[in-house]
Chains A and B, each alone.
Chain A
Amino acid sequence: MVAPIIELQTVNKWYGEFHVLRNINLTVKKGERIVVCGPSGSGKSTMIRCINRLEEHQKGHIIVDGTELTNDLKNIDAIRREVGMVFQHFNLFPHLTVLENLTLGPIWVLKKPKAEAEATAMKYLNRVRIPEQASKYPGQLSGGQQQRVAIARSLCMNPKIMLFDEPTSALDPEMVKEVLDVMVGLAEEGGMTMICVTHEMGFARKVADRVIFMDRGEIIEQNTPNEFFSNPQNERTQLFLSQILH
């Protein structure tokens, strides 16, 4: 049995009075690809944002690659170095060129020489198929291109885990595919642990090892994609699926 790379043990979180995460237990194996879905407000984004401490959990334990997330800044930095994140709104740095966006982390966090960081950046820009945009500013790119740059930015940090927080929700419909293609490519290559919050069920069917359904801060159901879609157990899962699969 391989040690899990991410472990959430009875994680609880409140926003004021509002109980966003209720007793979340989740174990992710190395290299596993997980899709998290659920109605809006169900806590799925909050859950993955807890994994790299963009949100703080108030009860329970989160252990990432053997390190527990506590208030210790050293641990937080160590974990953030291992965990890449792709956001719904890209969060690229608008005052830096694409290349600078990609090399900032490697140069200042990983202390790589500039030339090496740039070579790595170009490698990943090629991989997301926009090397010609390297010297442009994010504002000059389309939404789909920006999201691909954001994926490349995370990959440049050579993370063991990638978190995707609704990466296609803010995109125009015709740009969803180009981003999903990149993500599928990444998943099929293997080796990378991926947790992806998305409503793209085609993507879930194609690459996920496990689909997790969340509602009202709880994990309601988890299963392989086949079982999950053809034979949902819980009533709420059935309702949700009937609403999104027309």
Chain B
Amino acid sequence: MTTATESLPPPTSTTGPIAWVRERLFSSPLNAILTILSVWLILMSLPPFIEWALIKANFTAATSQECRAGGGACWAFIGVKYRLMLFGLYPYDEQWRPLIATVILIAMIVVSTIPRFWTVILLPIWVGGLIAVSVLMWGGVLGLRYVEDTLWGGLPLTLILSTFGIAIAFPFGVALALGRRSKMPAIKTLCVLYIELIRGVPLISMLFMSSVMLPLFLPEGFSIDKLLRAQIAIILFAAAYLAEVVRGGLQAIPKGQYEGADSLGLSYGHKMGFIILPQALKIVIPPLVSLFIAVFKDTSLVVIIGIYDLMQSTKVALTDPAWRGFSIEAYIFVSMIYFVFCYSMSKYSQNLEKRLATGHKR
């Protein structure tokens, strides 16, 4: 247009890259300052990091002296030590077993995320998976050498603790949440007591108690495996938090939904299972996944009772006198592993939310 009336400012372009930059990056003085600051920060930090991590980095060195000479990152360290970091103290020649166990665990999780499999078929898959993982890790049957679970470590251990921790804590937590909202005073009091007691105690002290105090209370000659005790502590701990998250969802469901179900004559189980819980759990997907991510990372606390999870195996790898001083590389490596798992959970939950949206509100 060539004829603009005086009262109108000349039109500025509202599309294209220049308009985008103006609108998103320089829309106000504050915004402009923040943009410039961010660009400066990136320019300051990124090139040195790339130079360290890629350009000057050494991927193939055979000794630590050679590796250090370049002045960059020493990724060769990961190449030398990755098996110790991933599998801990598990016998070197048998490490194909935890590798397969890890693959099975990941496959189980992936299958469980696909809605097509959300039927009873998951039950045999999980029971079968549990048996397969146990046989592979412990051995002692099928000609496999027996490996004590004090030697387990690294990624498979982290995955076992968090996968079964979450999988068993979930139904337990839902039951606790329902119990806390129950009309029966005994059940309600029990659930409240449990939740508040567990939430009032740090996970570390739960692990300590399970490892040090529990054996004192058990009868003479009767002992529960250390790993199993840690697993139980994680389950008990996660369930209490889960219960509160789920309760938040239950409280968000309007009373009308309960009445609608009641007026049809649905039983308590059907009402909860078909009407209330599906809606309540959908609402709490974001905090639920946050909790899962937290549990996954919190499993690294088992180190304090002497279990070698992924984090602790990495520390062990760093103590080799022949390869001293590569902790940055090692921690970047394990951080990437943690990140891949946590980010996948986060992404999956976003997809799930989208898929389950059915135009809840008009």
Contacts and interface: CB of A to CB of B under 8 A. Distances in A.
Q: Do A and B come from one complex?
A: yes
Interface of A: 52-54, 77, 80-81, 83-85, 87, 89-96, 104-105, 108-109, 137, 139-140, 143, 153-154, 157
B279 A94 contact: yes
Nearest to A91: B260
Given A77-B265, A80-B263, A93-B261, 19 more contacts: A77-B267, A85-B259, A85-B263, A87-B259, A87-B263, A89-B256, A91-B259, A91-B263, A92-B260, A93-B257, A95-B360, A104-B266, A108-B267, A108-B274, A109-B264, A109-B265, A109-B267, A140-B359, A154-B263
B163 to A, nearest CB: 27
B361 A157 contact: no
Nearest to B282: A95
Contacts of A104: 264, 266, 274-275
B266 to A, nearest CB: 6
B260 A93 contact: yes
B362 interface: yes
B324 interface: no
Contacts of B264: 80, 104-105, 109, 153-154, 157
27 contacts: A54-B262, A77-B267, A81-B265, A85-B263, A87-B256, A87-B259, A87-B263, A91-B256, A91-B257, A91-B259, A91-B260, A91-B263, A92-B260, A93-B257, A93-B279, A94-B358, A95-B279, A95-B282, A104-B274, A105-B265, A109-B264, A109-B267, A137-B358, A137-B359, A139-B358, A139-B360, A139-B361
A95 B358 contact: yes
Contacts of B267: 77, 108-109
Contacts of B262: 52-54, 80
Contacts of A139: 358-362
Contact of A54 (B263, B356, B362): B263
Contacts of B270: 108-109
By DSSP majority rule, is chain B's interface helix, strand, loop, or mixed? helix
A87 B275 CA distance: 17
B361 A84 contact: no
Interface of B: 256-257, 259-267, 270, 274-275, 278-279, 282, 356, 358-362
User: Taking each of A81, A89, A108, which has the highest tally of chain B beta carbons within 10 Å of its own beta carbon?
Assistant: A108
User: Taking each of B257, B264, B267, B360, which has the highest tally of chain A beta carbons within 10 Å of its own beta carbon?
Assistant: B264
Nearest to A83: B263
A67 B257 CA distance: 26
A84 B263 contact: yes
A105 B279 CA distance: 18
A96 B263 CA distance: 17
Closest 4 CB pairs of A and B: A139-B359, A91-B260, A80-B265, A105-B264
Contacts of B265: 77, 80-81, 105, 109, 157
A61 B360 CA distance: 39
B254 to A, nearest CB: 8
A89 B361 CA distance: 12
A153 B257 CA distance: 14
B183 to A, nearest CB: 12
Given A94-B279, A139-B362, A105 B266 contact: yes
A43 B94 CA distance: 75
A109 B266 CA distance: 6
A105 B270 CA distance: 10
B12 to A, nearest CB: 40
A97 B231 CA distance: 40
User: Taking each of B261, B263, B270, which has the highest tally of chain A beta carbons within 10 Å of its own beta carbon?
Assistant: B263
Contacts of A87: 256, 259-260, 263
Nearest to B361: A139
A38 to B, nearest CB: 21
B257 to A, nearest CB: 6
A81 B359 CA distance: 30
B259 A54 contact: yes
A84 B262 CA distance: 10
Contacts of B274: 93, 96, 104, 108
Nearest to A141: B362
A53 B259 CA distance: 10
A193 B361 CA distance: 33
A138 to B, nearest CB: 8
A83 to B, nearest CB: 8
A83 B263 CA distance: 8
A109 B271 CA distance: 11
Contacts of A96: 274
Contacts of B361: 94, 139
A83 B262 CA distance: 11
A94 B359 contact: yes
